[in-house]
Structure 1
Amino acid sequence: MSMYDFKLTFALPGADTNAEQYLDALFEAGCDDALIGIGSVGTIGLDFEREAGSASEAIDSAISDVHKAIPGATLLEVGPDLVGVTDIADLVESTRQNIQKFVTSGLFPKPAHFSRTPIWHFYTVATWLASRQLRAIKLEPSVIEASKIAYRVNIEVQKRQLEQTDETSIELGLTA
C-alpha cells in the first residue's frame, strides 16, 4: 500500500449549488482523507491523500466516494496533470528557478499548451525528470503513478465533454 496525493474537481448538480451543503455527506462517504475547497460557486475541489494499492484504485475510489455523497456531480478534472513551472517545482520539491533552467535548456519536454505561461502534462515532465536521476529533484514513484492516471482520466473527461458539445451542436444545427 502506498499513499497517493491527487486532486479532484467536480461540477455540482445545479449551477448555483452551495458546496457547503455536501461537507458532512462527503465525510460520511469516506472523503475524510481530503481537504475540501468550496470557493467557486457550482464546483467543489478535493485534495486527497489516500492510501491504496495503486493510484488507479485510490483515484477511482475517491471519485466513487464523491459520487455517493453528491449524486449528479460531474468530474471536471483530476490532478496532478496540467501544470506550470511553479506547480512542477512544488510537486518535485525544487525551486521555480531550478525548473525554469530545465525548461530553457532545450531538452525539457514540449508543453501541452504554448502561451505566455506554458502548461505541461505533469506525467510527461515527471518521467523526463525521473529518467535523469537528478539529485536536486525529489520525485516519489507514487506521484508519477498518480499523474499518469490523472492524465488518462482527464483524456476521458475531455472526450465526454466533446461528445456533449457535439450533441448540443447537432441539436442547434451547427454541424459542419
Structure 2
Amino acid sequence: MEYIFTFKYQLTVADQDLQAVVERLGEAGCDDAVVGIGQPGRLALEFTRDGPTAAAAMRSALADVQRAVPSARLVEAAPDLVGLTDVAQIAGVSRQNMRKLMLAYPHSFPAPVHEGSTSLWHLADVLAWLDTKGGYALAAAAIEVATVAMQINVMKDQHRLNRDLGAALGTLPM
C-alpha cells in the first residue's frame, strides 16, 4: 500500500551543502521523497512510500534518512498536530462543520494537546473519533499514517525528556 507522510529535520552546520545532502538522500533510497529546503538549517521530506503497513513504510524512511544524514535531528513527523481547518480538509467537510461537531460533543470530542488562539489536536485522535461517528469518508491509510506519526513524535519527545531529565539528575548532589 502507498503511504504519504512528511518528516522535518534540523540540520547541523556540517550539512550546509544542501546539494550534497540531497544527493546522499537519493543514494540512500529517499528517491520517493520531495525535498524541501526553504528554511535555513531545516529539511523537509514528503514521502510517498510503499509498504505493508504505515509503520513499516515510515520506519524504512527514517532509517534511509538516518543513513544519508546521520547528524540530522528529527523535528516532527507529519501529519500529526493539526487545527480544525486541517481536520476538516482531510475529512472532506467545512471548518464550520468541524467546529459544530466539537461544540456539539464536548465530552467525547478529543481534547486538544494545545489550547490557545489556535488549538491543536493529534490528527489520529480526531480521525478515530470521526470514524466512530460514521458517515465520513476517511481513508484507512490516512488514519494509520496519522497514528504512526503521532507515535513517532511522542517517542521522540519522550526520548528527549528522558535525556534532559538524566542530565538534570546527573548534576544534582547525591
TM-score, with length taken from structure 1: 0.86
Deviation of the 1:163 alpha carbon: 2.5
Contact 2:15/2:21 (8 A) holds in 1: no
Q: How does 1:40-55 map to 2 (within 5 A)?
A: 40-55=39-54
Q: How does 1:80-119 map to 2 (within 5 A)?
A: 80-107=79-106, 108-119=109-120
Kindly tell me: are residues 3 and 15 of structure 1, through their superposed partners in 2, closer, same or farther at Cα, counting changes over 3 Å? same
Give 2:132's aligned residue: 131
Give 1:158's aligned residue: 157
List runs of 5+ in structure 1 lacking aligned partners. Answer: none
List runs of 5+ in structure 2 lacking aligned partners. Answer: none
Q: In 2, distance between residues paired with 1:26 and 1:94? A: 37
Q: What secondary structure does 2:13 align onto? A: coil
Deviation of the 1:25 alpha carbon: 1.6
Give 1:24's aligned residue: 23
Query: What fraction of aligned residue pairs are identical, expressed as a percent?
Result: 35
Q: What secondary structure does 2:74 align onto? A: strand
Q: What secondary structure does 1:66 align onto? A: helix
Aligned residues: 171
Q: In 2, distance between residues paired with 1:34 and 1:56? A: 17
Deviation of the 1:165 alpha carbon: 2.5
Query: Could you tell me which amino acid in structure 1 is paired with residue 117 of structure 2?
Result: R
Q: What secondary structure does 1:56 align onto? A: helix
Q: In 1, distance between residues paired with 2:110 and 2:92? A: 19
**Deviation per CA, 1:85-129, whole angstroms, max 9, x where unpaired?**
122123223322222222222342211111111110111101001
TM-score, with length taken from structure 2: 0.87
* Two-structure CA RMSD over aligned residues (Å): 2.1
| Greater CA drift, 97-106 or 59-68 | 97-106
Q: In 1, distance between residues paired with 2:137 and 2:19? A: 36
Q: In 2, distance between residues paired with 1:16 and 1:168? A: 27
Misfit runs of 4+, over 6 Å: none
Q: What secondary structure does 1:104 align onto? A: helix
Deviation of the 1:60 alpha carbon: 0.2
**Deviation per CA, 1:39-78, whole angstroms, max 9, x where unpaired?**
2222211111111100110100000111121122122211
Q: What secondary structure does 2:46 align onto? A: strand
Contact 1:83/1:120 (8 A) holds in 2: yes
Query: Could you tell me which amino acid in structure 2 is paired with residue 127 of structure 1?
Result: A
Contact 1:16/1:41 (8 A) holds in 2: no
